[in-house]
Amino acid sequence: MAMNRKPVIAVVVLVVVVCGFLLVRDPVGAATTVQAAWELVITAVSTVFTSLTTFFQHLFHSS
């Protein structure tokens, strides 16, 4: 099963270019953006973990 890597490479290149542009243009704004994105990632992972925990609790503790 072959995976088409061109879209993935295109997205990675786009992210690198945007990050580079932000870093050169506005380092403080870039740092704020990175901090906000990191907090969003942490929140998303936490939400997924909480949802999975709730799902398994309902799955195994149902009457």
Tokens 């195994």 locate to: 60
Please count the helices (runs of H) and the strands (runs of E) in the chain: 2, 0
Would the CA dihedral through 48, 51, 56, 59 be positive or negative? negative
Looking at residue 27, its pLDDT comes to 83
Looking at residue 22, its pLDDT comes to 78
| Confidence band of 28 (pLDDT split at 50, 70, 90) | confident
Q: Is the overall model pTM greater than 0.85, yes or no?
A: no
* One-letter identity of residue 31: A
Looking at residue 5, its pLDDT comes to 85
| Confidence band of 36 (pLDDT split at 50, 70, 90) | very high
